[in-house]
Amino acid sequence: MDHRKCKVAALGYFVLEVSDLPRWENLTVNVLGLQVGRRKEGEYLALRMDRYENRLILTQGPKDDVKAFGWEVHCEEDLDIIAKRIAAAGLPIVEASADEAADRFVRRLFRCEDYDGNQVELVYAPRVTNRPFLSSVVEHGFVTGQLGLGHYVHVTKKDQERTLYFYRELLGLSIVDHVRQKFNDSFTADVAFMGCNARHHTVAAFEFPAVEKQVHHIMIEVNDMQDMGRMHDRCRAEGYPMMMSIGMHPNSHAQSFYIKSPSGFGFEVSWGGVLVGKDWTVREYDVLDSWGHHYEP
């Protein structure tokens, strides 16, 4: 095996530490249509989007931010190779106990921190169930499977080049696109979009130390535009404030809207993202939005 080509396969799950667990449960279950898989009252809630036992874990706590990013690998050999690569780069990484892995619904689990101090979890063999995924409000389900959970935008606090090194050289992601958009004389967003499978991007990164959260937003994708539209209406009806109106991204072709989550960072719901193949050409754009996505106060 060429160890240089060894990479993570997909984004498996998010762990969020939230101060208002009931408000988050209402958003994720009643508004966005995820399904409760397991709960421990007042402590955590594990949510499903498909056959996986866990796609989103909500834990009770004051942080109001992402607590961990769970990256899935294809095989145990990949897991060990990537863990050794991270250690060789000087980042401490440890294998979790069997009980800790079980808490994440996986067979094996390594933990480390990236250069911005975010907890990264590398996992093998996530647990799946034969119980069908049943949503009370989403008719056509979510885009997951081999494409993973969705994506997130990493807010670099220290050094964008080191952030890109972590994702590209240590986790094995590839650059898909760049967007460099000037907002004013003092700030230009220089966003690198990276992927590890056919989803257009699984993570994007840009340097913006003024953002206090570890992410600008996290994203989930639905299979049907009608489901996205109904989610949009339910968000407004339930009083979840819009961050950006419905719009379209020029690079991924995804149509989406953003709400401000109960923890303060963005939550994007999208539909129609393009798939990336071997013939994909890396492009550079000067705008993040083809139309729409207007900021709302």
CATH assignment of the domain containing 240:
3.10.180.10
Chosen domain end from 92, 126, 160: 126
Quick check: is 164 in a domain? Answer: yes
Quick check: is 84 in a domain? Answer: yes
Are 88 and 215 contained in the same domain?
no
Which residue type, as a one-letter code, is found at position 73?
V
Are 72 and 166 contained in the same domain?
no
Are 178 and 275 contained in the same domain?
yes
Quick check: is 191 in a domain? Answer: yes
Quick check: is 171 in a domain? Answer: yes
Are 214 and 259 contained in the same domain?
yes
Are 44 and 87 contained in the same domain?
yes
Quick check: is 247 in a domain? Answer: yes
- Total tally of structural domains belonging to the chain: 2
Q: What is the pLDDT of residue 3?
A: 53
Q: What is the pLDDT of residue 186?
A: 73
Quick check: is 297 in a domain? Answer: no
pTM equals 0.95
Task: Decide: 71 and 11 in contact? Cβ < 8 Å.
Answer: yes
Are 122 and 204 contained in the same domain?
no
Are 57 and 167 contained in the same domain?
no
Quick check: is 236 in a domain? Answer: yes
Are 169 and 112 contained in the same domain?
no
What b-and-e string marks burial along 60-85, b requiring 16 or more CB atoms within 10 Å of the CB? Answer: beeebbbbbbbbbbeeeebbbbbbeb
**The pair of three-digit structure tokens given for residue 208, joined into one six-digit string:** 């913006």
Q: In order along the chain (297 residues), what is the average pLDDT of each group of 10 residues?
A: 76 98 97 95 94 97 97 97 98 98 96 97 96 94 97 93 97 97 81 98 89 94 98 97 97 98 98 96 96 91
Q: What is the pLDDT of residue 184?
A: 77
Which residue type, as a one-letter code, is found at position 163?
T
The Cα–Cα gap between 82 and 7 comes to: 7
SS (H, E, C) the chain: CCHHHCCCCEEEEEEEEECCHHHHHHHHHHHCCCEEEEEECCCEEEEECCCECCCEEEEECCCCEEEEEEEECCCHHHHHHHHHHHHHCCCCEEECCHHHHHHCCEEEEEEEECCCCCEEEEEEEECECCCCCCCCCCCCCECCHHHCCCEEEEEECCCHHHHHHHHHHHCCCEEEEEEEEEEECCEEEEEEEEECCCECCCEEEEECCCCCCCEEEEEEEECCHHHHHHHHHHHHHCCCCEEEEEEECCCCCCEEEEEECCCCCEEEEEECCCECCCCCCCEEECCCCCEECCECC
- Of residues 142, 149, 274, the one with CA closest to residue 203: 149
Are 149 and 188 contained in the same domain?
yes
Alpha carbon distances (Å) from 227 to 25, 49, 272: 19, 14, 12
The Cα–Cα gap between 111 and 28 comes to: 26
The Cα–Cα gap between 36 and 20 comes to: 17
- Of residues 238, 231, 235, 281, the one with CA closest to residue 255: 231
Are 179 and 275 contained in the same domain?
yes
Structural domain boundaries enclosing 89: 3-126
The Cα–Cα gap between 254 and 151 comes to: 12
Q: What is the pLDDT of residue 123?
A: 98
88: exposed, middle or buried (Cβ count in 10 Å: 0-12, 13-18, 19+):
exposed
Are 57 and 158 contained in the same domain?
no
Sheet of 44-48, strand order:
35-40, 44-48, 56-60, 10-18, 65-72, 119-126, 106-113, 93-95
